[in-house]
Every structure is written in C-alpha cells, then in structure tokens.
Amino acid sequence: MSLYPASPSLATRASGAADDLLPLAAGSMMIAVRAGDLVSPAGRPAGAGDRSALAVAGTARIRSGELVAFCKVVVVAPAVVRRDGWIQADGKPCDYARLGVLEERLDEIAGPDAIGRLAAGVTLKGKVKGAARRSMTTAFTLRAVLLMTLMPEAGYREVMTALAGDLAAVPWGRPSRVPSETVLSTWREAAGPEPAEILQDMVLAAACAEHKDHDYRAFRVGDLRLGGAGGTVTRMPDTPANRREFGSAGTADDSSPYPQLRGLPMTDASTRGMLGIVTGPAGGDKAEAEQKLLDKAMREFPRLFTPDRLWILDRNFPGAARIREMTARTHVLIRIKSDIPLRRTGDFLPDGSYLAEISGGGVTVTVRVIEYHVTVDGQDVPEMFCLITDLEDHRAYPAAVLAAAYKWRWDGSETMLREGKSAIRGAGPSTGPMFRSCSPRLIRQEHAAWITATELVRGTARLAARHAAPAAKGRRAGQPVHPREISFTAARRAAIAAIRHGAATASLPGQAIAAGCRAAIAAISRCRVSVDRNRHRDHKTKARQGFPNAPCRMPTRTAEARISVCTPRGT
C-alpha cells in the first residue's frame, strides 16, 4: 500500500529524461516545494541513522506568504526504494563527481567525458584491480589528482571532499563516505603517470591551436607573436628515489636540502598560456641543462617553432649551432652575456643596431645586434642590455621595438611561473613551491596534472576574457578585455568553488550544466587586475611569499621605463 499520499499535480510533470527537468528548474536547477509537502517516505519522523531523502507529498499551488523549501538538484539518479519506504540513490559519488567548469573546458578540447574515456583504457597496477564496486574509480582518481594541484594547502581527504561536493550528502543505496588518504595514494600509484601525461599533451596541443585561431597579442612586433622560454626548478620531498632520479640544482656535491625537477615551459608571452613543456633532472650546470631542454623542446614540439613567432630567451641559451637551428624554423630575440664575443660586420643601421657574427662549435651565424640602456626615474639601472636577433630588416623590426619586446620574456615566463607555482604548496626550512609526491613515478604524474590543471584555468580565463564586458572607466575604458587582465588566482578559486558547488556533476541536464558554467565564467570575467602600470620593484624571489603582503620597506616606483638604443658617437 502507499506509504504517503500524493495529490494531483498542478505543475508541469517531467518525464524520465534528465533534460525534461528543465521546465521545473527554469535552467537553474533550483526547485521550490511547499515545506508542508515534504514528508518522510517511511511515514514516521526521520531518525538520526536514517539514510533517506524526503519525499513530496503533494503539489498544490504555491501562494505568497507560504513557507517554501528551495532545493538544489545535486544528482539525477535511479531510485532505490527500501521495504520500509526509504528513498535512496543508486550508484556512488565517484560515478557522478566532475571538475565543473574546468572539465567542461577539457571536454570542449577533447570531446565529451574525456577523463572517463581515458580512464576506461587504463590498466591499474599493484594492489588495485578496479573490478569490485568501490568508493574509488580510475576517473575519480584522475580528477582528484588534477584538483590536488590547484589546492596547495589541502590534504588528500579535503581534495576528495571538495571533488564530491554535495554528492557526499546524498543518501546512496550503498553506504558511501569520502575515501581515506591512503586509498587515494594507492590508486595514484596504480594509475601511474601515463594518463596524466596524455591529458597534458591534449591540453597543451589545444592551447597551441587556440593561440593560432585567436589574436591575443598584447604587444606587436610586426606580424610576429611573442613566445617566452625560461627554465625553472621545483622542489620535491627528499627521498632516496627522488634524489637518484632528479638530483638537485646549484651544488656539485648534491647537498641541497631537496631534490628538484627542472623544466622548460614554452609560453605565449601575451597570455602566459602554456604551449609546451619539457623536463629533466636538476643536477649539473644550470645553463648547460637548460640548453639541453631547449634542444629537446625543438625535437618534441616542432609545432611551436614556426615562422610566425618570435621566441624571447635569456642569457642561458647562447650557442651558434643552436641559434642556427632555431632560426631555420622560427625567429629569436636573445639576450647574451658580456663575455660572448661578437664581430661587427658592417656599419651601424639607421636605428642604431648593427650586423655581427657569433661563432662557436665550428659554426658562424650572422645576427643583428641591439644594445640599449633602460632609464627609470628614481631607480638605478646601470647595466647595458645586448640582444641578438635573426630579424635583419630594421625597417620592419626597429631596434626600439625589439628592445621594448624583451621585457615580455619576464611577463610571459617568470610571471607565468609565479602564478602556476602559487598552486603548489610550500614546505621545509625555506619557503617555496614543492611537490608532495615521494616517488619519481608520482612526481611525473603530479607534474603533468599540475601543468594540465593550471592551463585549464588559464584557458577558462581566456574564454572569460572573450565574453567579458569592457571596463566602463579607467585607462582601458571601452577596450576589449585581454586575458592578462583576468586574475589567475581568482579564476583558480572560482573554479574550485564551482566544483564544491556541484553545478556540473554528471547526470544533470546538459542545459543546466551549461548554465552553471556560464555563471562561473561570468564571475571569472569580473575578476580583473590592472596591467601595464609601469610599476617597478627589485626582483627578490620567484617563490611564493610567506605572507600576503610585500615587506613594507621594499620600495615600489610608478614611472615610465625609457629605452635608449646605443648609437655611435656623432650620430
């Protein structure tokens, strides 16, 4: 017999399809039910140990002044009705958890349910077989590892709790709770680094294609797009396996407190978007190690070294043979050290630059040399900057323009690294970013997940910038919003908040998921930072600061930087 009464419906009924719930939800997946119509399906007050959802006893028309319960739809799942009337959901939270707006971005790149399809082909190793109905799945593990790299202060359990979101409160037919930290560690080891590396390759390839389809240039050097390459090292726990595999930078006797992973990210200087990255051990000479990584990048990412891009490199990448190899495919703007000889081969050009030869390893290359000073009011900049480039046409690429372009290496590489490393926790006797994995396999997995997750955040920020309304006042009033104006930290936090909120869990109507993602993107589009303020401060560290505010005695100056290209006397 019926355990609770149901009055005739005065509202629009929904069929069995999830998308048919939209007339009830009006696109927001928020349902209004009279408080008096919510009853316990068992016909008795719910006890402390009951795992059941309430039921709607009637659907009378809601009138002004009545008490109404506004219910958020968390999941649409088959019902499990017990003999005593309890109403529960079939399945488990890990079947429905998703990464919100970040996963929507990933699915645009790689097709629907990209993580689920990838997880289906993973062969688990070690203690986990993945055959039993568990509270973990391979797809949930991959999502947890991606989210872990965006939550630097969170432990494994907190990460999984955020990923499950409101799904953890659903009364499931099989009792379910957030897995322990040991469970996630075991599943991470079983999944291995390969799935995360596949995701990284897909996301970086899509980012490269996106930058070709959209003109994101914030600074123009003729028809070329600016790219930046700058080496970095990231610490990891000091285990014997990590030290053997990666070594540590800066000391010949390997006595650094932590082993480190060396990486060379290749980025778009205007948007700080990651286009490719290569890694290697941190031991040995810094310049030599980074030069090897650049050679590796040219082998593994030929799509990046194209004639429409100008790569800006610092002083660690000289070498005539390397310059010749790069300029055969792309263009370069390289700052060189004062001890590298340049033999001038002609008169000074009208813009103050001149042609010269650089030799090494039996190879001689002709380059154009630009020497200049930078003057900032109230700041002493005593050094002279010396750049070389293969762009010999001084009319199409004036020396002053190329000199002004060099500062974008810092913005495109160093600032990008500082943003990305804000998502990695700091630990140990000194502050600074640090991975949390204790074995080389898991370091590879965590690094690939970190690159993937941070680029998904930047890709979402770029999408938000394209849909953002121009500023109504200020220096950029009426101008299109550039991706650089969207705060990376605010975008990362908004993405995590959307995951906790559960606005894009599996089984929800597609239009409702899209509406939730549009709301998240609209929120991100309003999180802007000021750019191009001509603010200057001494470069102290690339690491995340231990306190939210800069030291009060570190001076900050607001002044225009003036570039003076060196010219011969008498001109």
Q: Using CA atoms, how far apart are residues 301 and 201, in angstroms rounded to an integer?
A: 10
Residue that the structure tokens 């990210």 belong to: 265
Neighbours of 316 (CB within 10 A): 21
The confidence score (pLDDT) of residue 254 equals: 45
pLDDT beneath 50, residues of the chain = 1-4, 6-15, 21-27, 251-254, 427-429, 542-544, 547
Asked whether 132 and 148 are in contact (CB, 8 A), the reply is no
User: Which of 284, 344, 275 has the alpha carbon at shortest distance from 316?
Assistant: 284
Name the DSSP letter for residue 284.
Answer: S
pLDDT number for residue 554: 64
Q: What is the DSSP string of 83-130?
A: TT--EEESS-HHHH---HHHHHHHHHHH-TTHHHHHHHT----TT---
Contact 317, 291 (CB under 8 A): yes
State if pTM tops 0.75.
yes
Q: Residue 460: which of 206, 165, 152 has the closest Cα?
A: 206
% helix / strand / coil in the chain, to the nearest 5? 35, 20, 45
**What confidence score (pLDDT) does residue 428 get?**
46
- Between helix 440-467 and helix 510-525 the angle, nearest 10°, is 80
Q: What is the pLDDT of residue 534?
A: 67
